[in-house]
Structure 1
Amino acid sequence: AIEQRMAEAEALRIKRQQVEMPEEEEVKPSSDLEAGKNLPLIYGDPPPELIGTPLEDLDPFYKDKKTFIVLNKGKSIFRFSATPALYMLGPFHPIRRGAIKVLIHSYP
């Protein structure tokens, strides 16, 4: 799905160059959805089964980038790259999932 959106964005960019259409305003990352900040109240409380699992990024800026977010129990946002780590560990590999759980765990 991400590759398809990236291809559509690239095709639209090439089409704009050929037709000389006016550029859209550049989308910027939302300051409410920055990594390290808490999930805004407008999104409500996430279900417990979504805590600690990779989720599609909520920020429109990242819709065509290979990233995902993970929420911890305190609803803090952690953003990770969805590209293979060390060129072999995908985002759903058990070793990588374990490392993410260690990183997002809040210590007392």
Structure 2
Amino acid sequence: MASPEPKSLVPFTRESLEVMGQHSTKKPSEEDKEDLKPNCDLEVGKELPFVYGNLPQAMVSEPLEDVDPYYINKRTFIVLNKKRTIFRFSATWCTLSPFNSIRRATIKI
């Protein structure tokens, strides 16, 4: 399956988390499971491709919706540093909510 057009970078919000929950409750068809694989250009530690446009300073070190369609129902978000390096985090509640101020502060480090 060809990957869809790149979407723009969008801040990760509580609404984003709700949409992820809706996607995770839907059962993917067997065909979708086989065709959808992580995009090798969007792996952790790689630089975000320039096809996604310029990275506004306000989005550096901020949680963003995952741009890889493979992760749409995996409850993840990404954070980019100044060099556009991709870091992927779980959006599930472990000890702290993804919106907890302590967790958000540690992501920025």
State the match for 1:94 in structure 2: 101
- Who is 2:9 aligned against? none
Alignment-derived partner of residue 106 in structure 1: none
Match of 1:23 in 2: 31
* Equivalent-residue separation in structure 2 for 1:92 and 1:23 (angstroms): 34
Paired residues, number: 90
TM-score (norm 2): 0.76
Q: Could you tell me the TM-score, scaled by structure 1's length?
A: 0.76
Residue in 1 that maps onto 2:24: 6
Whole-Å separation in 1 of the counterparts to 2:86 and 2:51: 14
Distance 2:54 2:20 in 1: 26
Please say which structure displays the higher CA radius of gyration: 1
How far apart, in 2, do the equivalents of 1:33 and 1:40 lie?
8
Match of 2:85 among 60, 72, 76: 76
Tell me the distance in 2 between the aligned counterparts of 1:36 and 1:79. 9
Return the offset for 1:47: 1.1
- 1:68-92 per-residue CA deviation (whole Å, 9 max, x = no partner) reads 0001111100000001132xx1111
- State the secondary structure of the residue aligned to 2:99: coil
Structure 1 portions without partners, runs of 5+: 14-21, 103-108
Corresponding letter in the other structure for 1:41: F
Give the SS at the match of 1:23.
helix
Runs of 4+ aligned structure 1 residues displaced above 3 Å come to none
Counterpart selection for 1:50 from 50, 54, 59: 59
Identity in percent: 50
Higher relative contact order (CA 8 A, sep 6+): 2
For 2:39 and 2:81, the matched residues in 1 are separated by: 19
